[in-house]
Amino acid sequence: MSGAARHIERLVRPVPDWPQAGVVFRDISPLLGDATAWAEVVDELSEQIGDLGRIDAVLGVEARGFLLGVAVARTLGVGFIPVRKAGKLPADVVSSSYDLEYGSATIEMHADALEPGARVVVVDDVLATGGTLQATIDLVNRVGAEVLATAVMIEIDGLGGRDLLTGRPCLALHTF
């Protein structure tokens, strides 16, 4: 087990039955509060992403994916593109709807956020059912850019998320 995975195992807190019965939420707040652990997580994920070759931007999914995505983008020396919940961005957007483990949602990205042909990585904190990441890939494809990989801190085993994300690497630092 890598150093980052050990930190995730030790510091990410399971919260049963939140936001609804039957869901185990993975709270990354304790990890964020440990500067050494957080730095190791960001560095290890950045290193794995850097091995993919030229990357033009990192996309992060609201809200916890912003935290990881911005840190990874800064480490890699590339730009960061926010993917937000519907109605939060001020300019023209592209939208994609998807199902969650416990409902449905719509995400958006500025229509001009990426140049056609841009090579990007989509970063989020947790991969569960894969709906959020797949919807983000859809946004990137619609503006003519290319998703090289998806990358997460945590993968929840048994929910089929990885199976939905075919055709590109899916990097995960730890699986629960």
Q: Is 26 a catalytic residue?
A: no
* Measured distance CA(95)–CA(136) in Å, rounded: 9
Of the listed 44, 101, 108, 155, which one is catalytic? 101
Write out the two tokens for 158.
């048994």
Number of alpha carbons in the 13 Å side-chain half-sphere of residue 88: 12
Query: For the chain, first and last CA: distance in Å?
Result: 13
Of the listed 26, 64, 84, 162, which one is catalytic? 64
3-state secondary structure of 50: helix
Q: Is 101 a catalytic residue?
A: yes
* Of residues 157, 158, 96, the one with CA closest to residue 131: 96
* Of residues 28, 24, 21, 56, the one with CA closest to residue 42: 28
Which positions are catalytic?
Answer: 64, 101
